Amino acid sequence: MQRCARCGADVRVEHGRACRCNVCDFILFFNVGAATAAIVEDESARLLFTIRAKEPAAGYLDLPGGFIEPDETAEEAIAREIKEELNVSVENLRFFCTVPNRYLFCGVIYHTLDVIFLGFLAREADLQPADDVTGFEWLKKEEIDLDRVGLDAARLALRKYLDTA
Ligand SMILES: [Zn+2]
């Protein structure tokens, strides 16, 4: 951010959290965005991973999820994202934890807070990858290689889950 969004004058960064205009005092805050993801298990305690279609981390494993839209609850967002990405409804979604995240997109780092849910899906569910997901994998806990997981927040959430499960 180099110029004031209101008057076009130079801005200065304050406390690393906002840009204040040198002329009209307009302030643009770098607010934390909200995202959501789900750790989904089947009846054999395998975990569901999506394969990312797009950057960042294209080709890496991820948890189903995405950004929460304006006026949407986290519960609505995770159900919508799973439906968009895999064309299924996950049962019994319940809150697990939140994870701070940094998301590099188009050369800009966005700070987000990811709301993580737990849920259940039968192994025979008919998953149809779409949107920003190119495939999926069911993995036993001992098969999970966190180096194959592309985003920090998903790794943190999984580590927390695997430590407590
Ligand atoms: Zn200004």
Q: What is the pLDDT along the chain (165 residues), one digit of tens a residue?
A: 578 989 999 999 888 788 899 999 999 888 899 999 999 999 999 999 999 999 889 999 999 999 999 999 999 999 999 999 999 999 889 999 999 988 777 777 788 999 999 999 998 889 999 988 999 999 999 999 999 999 889 999 999 999 986
Same domain, 47 and 25: no
Same domain, 88 and 102: yes
Same domain, 138 and 102: yes
Same domain, 80 and 158: yes
> Ligand 1 centre and the CA of 18: distance in Å?
13
Burial grade of 52 (CB within 10 A; 0-12, 13-18, 19 or more): buried
Same domain, 96 and 122: yes
> Ligand 1 centre and the CA of 10: distance in Å?
7
> Ligand 1 centre and the CA of 79: distance in Å?
40
Output b/e per residue, 126-158; b: 16+ Cβ within 10 A.
Answer: ebeeeebbeebebeeeeebeeeebbbebbbbbb
> Ligand 1 centre and the CA of 105: distance in Å?
26
Contact yes or no for 19/12 (Cβ under 8 A):
yes
> Ligand 1 centre and the CA of 8: distance in Å?
6
* Structural domains in the chain (count): 2
Same domain, 80 and 99: yes
Same domain, 61 and 15: no
> Ligand 1 centre and the CA of 25: distance in Å?
6
pTM: 0.86
Q: Which domain holds residue 24?
A: 1-30
> Ligand 1 centre and the CA of 62: distance in Å?
40
3-class state of residue 147 by DSSP: helix
